Amino acid sequence: MRIREAAIDDIDNFMAVRMAVKENVLNSPGLFTRKDNIDHSTIYGKKWVCEDDNYIVGVAIAGLTQRNIWALFVQAGYEKKKSRDT
């Protein structure tokens, strides 16, 4: 697994992870639009993804103006999983 800065092209895969979580469920994907994703990745915050074999399994977004972790999502089955590199 590796962590890297997210790209705009990662939005669809990020949303797949986001919509799969069992806590903090987003009932409607229309509540957080593609433009919202871009804004939170470029203007309001910074986004990173965790990949396993080029498959996004986790996402973190830091809120720059709020100085917080605005979002943290992990694909089911990857909770508590350790990187092969550690």
- Strands 68-74, 55-63: pairing is antiparallel
Whole-model pTM: value is: 0.79
CA distance 8 to 80: 27
pLDDT band at 85 (very low <50, low <70, confident <90, very high): low
Binned at pLDDT 50, 70 and 90, residue 83 comes out as: low
The pLDDT tens digits of the residues spanning 6-50 come to 999 998 888 888 888 777 777 776 778 888 888 888 888 899 999
Q: Which domains does the chain have, with CATH numbers?
A: 2-74 (3.40.630.30)
pLDDT digit string, tens, across residues 44-75: 889 999 999 989 999 999 988 889 998 899 98
pLDDT of 5 reads 93
The pLDDT of residue 86 is above 60? no
Which phi and psi (to 5°) does residue 47 adopt? -125, 140
